[in-house]
Structures are given as structure tokens and as C-alpha cells.
Structure 1
Amino acid sequence: MKWLNALKDYKLYLKIERGLSKNSIDNYALDVKKLITYLEDNDINQSPLTINTEVLQQFNYDIAKVVNERTQSRILSGLRSFFSFLIFEDYRTSNPLDLIESPKIGRKLPDTLSEFEIDKLIGAIDLSTPEGERNRAILETLYGCGLRVSELTNLKMSDLFFDEGFIKVTGKGDKQRFVPILKNTQKYINLYVNEIRTHLKIQPGHEDTLFLNRRGKQLTRAMIFTMIKQLAEKIGLKKSISPHTFRHSFATHLLQNNADLRSIQMMLGHESITTTEIYVHLDKSHLSKIVEKYHPRK
């Protein structure tokens, strides 16, 4: 079996059997491609069925020289998944990565934004341009609904149920959930839709897409990242932020205002509440306040 054939079958497995999104599948495939490139560059002639622990150990040593521990751990995790797939399909009987340890890494939590910083970022948007009205609606939606950037770019006009106070979100693995949407967020989306979007020349296939670029096509993830980076620079924000920062801030602020973890889990679209517990960091002062307020022996 050749590497590219195995990779093609693996991607199909991730899509059909595991129901992963295109972005997740691409990330898993990228880990395998790194190994393929390493084998080619070092003239190592081993197939997916014959490659052994020694070769993978050397690959691990070499990638450790050029990437950080977190990236190294993620690559090894992706490769473990690939070889587990080969075992599942009876191509191999063992996983050559079983004896290779991933680097020990601490849990790194992303920066969050304070309510003041979010207000300042949104306030820095130039509303004299059509893109400004759109960008304000985008940031209000990211923060107001706690969306992933891919969920935002894929949001449809037909996903808006403002009368009921919800939007329908398609998350990882094409799983759908309904997320409450604030009246304030609805207001900014309606402004964008009625004042800006209605004047665009919308390209075929994008008629139902909510947020569009100037050419009437769906926005890319990179466009959202760039817009946020430029706003952060404009206000002199020193934190390293991304669209995901707004999602994390959404969850953190809800938790700090005593929302329950189960509700946050449902709104974020996490399959397991364990993911939410890791994702939403709790500071000690907040925990102390919860105990003081709710414990029967306070």
C-alpha cells in the first residue's frame, strides 16, 4: 500500500465513519503529509504497512528541533490516529507509535478579552464604510453567540430564527445546534442585512450566505482573522487574539456571571462536558465567591 492511497482511504474514514469536518480532516491529513515528506527527504523507503518505531522515533527527534512541544504532541497524536485506522482496517497488527511518548505539556489557555476590551475593539470599527457595518455584526455575533470562525462564515440567512430568539449553527461533523441570540446582536445583523447586504451583487451559490465580501461571496476564515488583527493593532491591544478569543470570552463571561456549565456546553456545541471544563478556565477568586454564596455552611 502506497502512502497517498492510505491517506486517501484515511480521509474517507474520517469523513464517513467519524463525521469530522473538512477542517479537522485537513489537519489530520497534514500530520501524515509531514511524515511522508520526511521519508522522501531522507530517502527512507518504508510503506505505511512496514514503517517501524525506530524510523518514527527519529522523525519525532527531528520535528522536536523545529516545532514547539504542543505542535509536536499534536503531530504525534494525528499519526497515532492514522496508524490506528490501519489497524482497524486490518492492514497492520500494531501501532508503531505505541512506544513513543508525547512531550509533557501544560494546559495552555487562550487569552480572554474583558468587556471593556471587546467594546473598545468594536468601537474602533470604521462604520462609514459598508464593510464596517458588516464587521460590527460579525464581532457582535462571534461574541454574542460564542461561535467558531467556521460556524460564522458558514452561517446562512435561513439559519436566522429571530422571532424565536435563536440561530441554527452547523458545527463540527455537521452537527447542528440552536444557540440563543441577543436582541442587540439581532439589531446589528438586521442593519447589515437591510442596509449593506441587500445592495451587493451576490454571486450564484452564495444567495443564502449571511456574511459576504464586497464581491458577493462567502467570507474566508483568513478574512476574519485579518480584520480582528487590524482592529487589535488599531487600539494598541497587546494580547494575541483571534476569532476564537471571542468564543472563549463568551464562555468565560457567562461562567463568571454564574451561568451553569451544562448550558455553556450546549451553546458551545461540545459533545462532552469535560471539554467545556477544560476550555472554560476558572479563576480562584470566582470559585471562592461561588462557595461563599452557595455553600450551606457559609
Structure 2
Amino acid sequence: MNWQHAIKDYQLFLKIERGLSKNTIESYTRDLQKLNLFLNKNEIKVSPTEIDSSIIKQFVYEIAKSVNPRSQARIISGLRSFFDFMVFEDYRKTNPTDLIETPKTGRKLPDTLSEEQIDELISAVDLSHSQGERNRTILETMYSCGLRVGELVTLKISDLFFEEGFIRVLGKGNKERYIPIHNTAKKYITIYINQIRNHIKPKKSFEDTLFLNRRGSGLSRQMVFMIIKDLAVKIDLKKKISPHTLRHSFATHLLKGGADLRAIQQMLGHESITTTEVYVHVDKSFLKDVLEKYHPRK
């Protein structure tokens, strides 16, 4: 079995058996392509069924020169998943990454914006053109619902249940969840649909997509990144932000306001409460309020 064949089989496994998204599958594939590039560069002719831990260690040592520990850990995790698949399918007996140590990375706290910075960012949107109205709606929706950028660009009009006060989101692994939507976001979505989007002719297969570009196609993830990056420059924000920053801010502000961690977990679509607990470390001030409010010793 050659690498191309093995990677193709693995991609099918990730899609069909594990139900992972296209972006996640591409991320796993890039890890394998890095290993394959290393083998070709060093003229190491070995198949995925024959490669051993000594070669994997050489590869890890090589990537350690150019990527940080967190990226190293992610790549090793990706390789471990691939070789687990190879063992599971009986292509090989052992996983060569089992003895590879993952570098300690610690817990990275997510970047967030204050409520004032969120307001400033949204206020900086140029509303003199139709794309401005759309962009304001995008920011309000992401911050109101804590959406991932991939969830935002695939959001459909048929996913809006405004009478019930919810939107339906297709998250990681094609898992469906319902998120309450704030009245402000609901207002701007309604304005966008009735006054902006209805003047755009959607291309085939984008008739139900909520956010469209000027040509009638869906927005790319990169376009949303650029919208937020340009606004950050416009307000002279002294930190690097991304669409995920709005998601982090959504969770942090809810927690700070006294929201239950389990409720935030459900809205974010986290499988494990441990993932959501990172927000406790971002702002501990609310813990003091909880203690004073609920502890019997006043």
C-alpha cells in the first residue's frame, strides 16, 4: 500500500465512519502530507505499513525546528489518529507513534474582546454600501450565538426559527444543535434578508444560504476573516483577532454575567465540559460573585 492509497482510504474513513467536516479532514490530511514531504525530501522509501517509530522521531525532530510545541502536538495527534486507523483496518500490527512523546503545551487561554471593543468593532462597519449591512449582521450573529466561522457561512434561511427564538446550527461532525438568538441579531438578520439579500440573485445550490456575496454565492471562511481583520485595523485594535475571537467573547461574557457553564457548553456545541471550562480561566471575577451570592455564610 502506498501513501496516496492509504491517505485516500483514511479520508473516506474520517468522512463516513467518524462524520468529520471537510475542514477537519483537510487538517488531518495536511499532517500526513508533511510526513510524506519529509520522506521524499530525505529519500526515505518506506510505505505507511512499514514505517517505524525511528523515522517518525526523525520527522518530529525536524518539524520541531520550525513549529511551536502546540503545533507539534497537533501534528503528532494527527499522525497517531492515522496509524490507529491503519491498525484498526489490519494494515499493520502496531502504531509507530505510541512511543512518541507529545510536547507539553499548557493550556492556551483564548483571546477575547471587551463588550466595549465588540461595540466599537461593529460600529466601525461602513453601512454606506449593501455589503456593510451584511457585514454588520454577520458580526452580530456570530457574537449573539457564539458561532464558528464554518457554521456561519453554512447557515441557511430555513435554519432560522425566529418565532421560537432559536436558530439551527450544523456543527462539527455534522452534529445539529439549537441556539437561542438575541433580539438584536434577529433584527439585523431580518433587515438584511428583506432589504439586501432580496436584491441578490442566488446561484444554484445557494438559494437557501443566508449570507451571500455580490455574485450570489456563499461566503468563504477567508472572506469572514478579512472582514474582521479589516475592522480591527480600522479601529486600531492592538491585538490579533479572528472570527473565533467573537465566539470566545460570547462565552466569556455569558459566564461573567452569571450563565451556567453547562448551558454555555450546549450553545457552543462542545462535546466535553472540559473544553468549556477554559473560559473559567479567562475571567475569574465572576467566581467571587457566585461565592458571595450562593454560599450560606453571608
| TM-score over 0.5 (shorter chain) | yes
Task: Name the SS for the 1:281 alignment partner.
Answer: helix
CA distance in 2, matches of 1:235, 1:72: 34
Contact 2:141 2:185 in 1 (8 A): yes
Q: What is residue 97 of structure 1 aligned with on the other side?
A: 97
Q: What is residue 106 of structure 2 aligned with on the other side?
A: 106
Task: Name the SS for the 2:6 alignment partner.
Answer: helix
CA distance in 2, matches of 1:282, 1:67: 25
Deviation at 1:272, TM superposition (A): 1.7
CA distance in 2, matches of 1:286, 1:279: 11
Deviation at 1:216, TM superposition (A): 0.7
Task: Name the SS for the 1:72 alignment partner.
Answer: helix
Q: What is residue 132 of structure 2 aligned with on the other side?
A: 132
Amino acid at match of 2:273: I
Amino acid at match of 2:235: I
Amino acid at match of 1:253: H
Deviation at 1:93, TM superposition (A): 1.4
Q: What is residue 167 of structure 1 aligned with on the other side?
A: 167
Deviation at 1:201, TM superposition (A): 2.2
Deviation at 1:97, TM superposition (A): 1.0
Matches within 5 A, 1:79-98: 79-98=79-98
Task: Name the SS for the 2:281 alignment partner.
Answer: coil
Amino acid at match of 2:33: K
CA distance in 2, matches of 1:273, 1:125: 35
**1:208-265 deviation line (CA, Å, top 9, x unaligned):** 0000001110000000000000000000001111000001110110001111011111
Contact 2:255 2:286 in 1 (8 A): no
CA distance in 2, matches of 1:118, 1:7: 42
Q: What is residue 293 of structure 2 aligned with on the other side?
A: 293
CA RMSD of aligned residues (A): 1.0
Matches within 5 A, 1:6-155: 6-155=6-155
Matches within 5 A, 1:213-292: 213-278=213-278, 281-292=281-292
CA distance in 2, matches of 1:41, 1:197: 50
Contact 1:251 1:280 in 2 (8 A): no
Amino acid at match of 1:21: S
Q: What is residue 196 of structure 1 aligned with on the other side?
A: 196
Contact 2:255 2:279 in 1 (8 A): no
CA distance in 1, matches of 2:8, 2:297: 60
Contact 1:112 1:248 in 2 (8 A): yes
Task: Name the SS for the 2:141 alignment partner.
Answer: helix
CA distance in 1, matches of 2:266, 2:103: 32
**1:45-68 deviation line (CA, Å, top 9, x unaligned):** 111111011111110110000111
Task: Name the SS for the 2:218 alignment partner.
Answer: coil
CA distance in 1, matches of 2:100, 2:6: 22
Aligned pairs, how many?
Answer: 298
**1:58-103 deviation line (CA, Å, top 9, x unaligned):** 1011000011111111101100000011111111111111111111
Deviation at 1:289, TM superposition (A): 2.1
**1:146-196 deviation line (CA, Å, top 9, x unaligned):** 000000000001111111111110101111111111111111011111111
TM-score normalized with structure 2 length: 0.98
CA distance in 1, matches of 2:220, 2:109: 25
CA distance in 2, matches of 1:57, 1:271: 32
CA distance in 2, matches of 1:284, 1:178: 28
Amino acid at match of 2:193: V
Contact 2:149 2:221 in 1 (8 A): yes
Deviation at 1:282, TM superposition (A): 4.4
Deviation at 1:279, TM superposition (A): 5.0
Distance 1:92 1:280, change over 3 A: farther
CA distance in 2, matches of 1:119, 1:235: 11
CA distance in 2, matches of 1:295, 1:68: 43
Contact 2:109 2:282 in 1 (8 A): no
Deviation at 1:283, TM superposition (A): 2.8
Contact 1:252 1:281 in 2 (8 A): no
CA distance in 1, matches of 2:280, 2:40: 42
Moved over 4 A (4+): none
CA distance in 2, matches of 1:38, 1:162: 52
Contact 1:179 1:267 in 2 (8 A): yes
For structure 2, the residue ranges without an aligned partner over 5 or more in a row are: none
Distance 1:244 1:102, change over 3 A: same
Identical counterparts, % of pairs = 64
